[in-house]
Structure 1
Amino acid sequence: MTDRKAETAASKFDATVTSADWYGQTISDRNHSRTLFADLDMTEATSAGAVFKECTFRRAKFNCSRHEASAFINCTFVGCNFYDVAFNACKFVGSVFEACKFDATSIKGGNWSFVGLQGADLRSADIADVVMREADLTGVRCDGGSMTGVDLSGAALDRGNFIGCDLRGSDISTIEPDTVALKRAVITIDQAVMICEAMGLVVRAS
């Protein structure tokens, strides 16, 4: 489990980019590392194979942008807006999100292991077939949302709200029923058996 904070006093950057306008641009050729992006506008931008490593994005606008097989490795996102963003087969391993908005965000495939999404509001996000191993989802809000086929093995889910959430096909083996809200969540028979066993029940066919 990652314990990296969203911001640390020791953070250092090799470059700083302030108020850059990437509106509608194709940024597939971008390769940045240890860069601070402040007030970046990436609205309606598209990327394929872009790479960002150990970068920090403060108040960035990703609205309506589309990203295919791009990588944001060990990055920090503070106060960013991801309205109607599509991430397909992208990699966010080790990245941390703080006070970000995920309205109508689409995340399909890719690797989001070890991400920090404490308290994130993912109610309107559509998350499918994503690897989120050992992610920190403490206090996450997914009520009424969709997290199907997600690998949540080893993830921290304490105090998470999954009321009415579609969790079918997801690995929820680390869920402790007494520490999360699961009322009306949609799950499969196999998942139901696993939750019952986690509660100490003995499940028999007859």
Structure 2
Amino acid sequence: MKRIALTLILLLTPLAAWAETRIVVFGDSIAAGFGLPPDQGLVPTLERWLSVRGYDVTLIQAGLSGDTTFGGRVRIKWSVPPDTDAVIIELGANDMLVGFDPDGIKSNLHTIIDSAQGARQRPVLLLGIYALPVRSAPYRQKFDAIWQSIASQQDVLLVPDMIAPFRRLSQPERERRKILQSDRLHPAQAGVELMVEEIGPKVIELIAQTKAQTKAQAKE
């Protein structure tokens, strides 16, 4: 009986390991969960959202508060462990707030995606963010166009504006007090939950891509 039980464990273990998907969430203070308790940031909230829907996923938090696409371009090289299955990239907001050149931002993101994919050609999900009104209209137009351009050129999944739910508020000023922290920039827990609802379906697509790639590589 013990031998049968041990055999079952040995048989099932590889299946369980295969079922789990390891995804690095690489970004700035949003990915890092700035200003929030450890269990309320974007990464743990998204992981719970996926778990409730039956997805066996481990999300690895690789966020750095204040990071820009230039910093990410350097940091990505040592932020993605070899056993990573896919990468979510969330960078660009700080570049926009400082007013960095959109062409430079675009170039940095291309390099980040190339590094994230690596030799294994890992699936990538790019989380975009549209510019805030603090920037001029011409700048906003050029910045907002970055995301779709990159996604098309590099054939990666895209959420064009991860804070789109914030822009759809029926009573913007009143409701922003509930979804933003006191700095009026970083999301509170309620804001994180809105973001997860926005990006969650695309993360499910990312998982599906990862599973399909794993199956294809297993047949080679």
TM-score of the two chains, using structure 1 as the length reference: 0.24
TM-score of the two chains, using structure 2 as the length reference: 0.23
Structure showing greater relative contact order (alpha-carbon pairs closer than 8 Å, 6 or more residues apart): 2
Higher Cα radius of gyration: 2
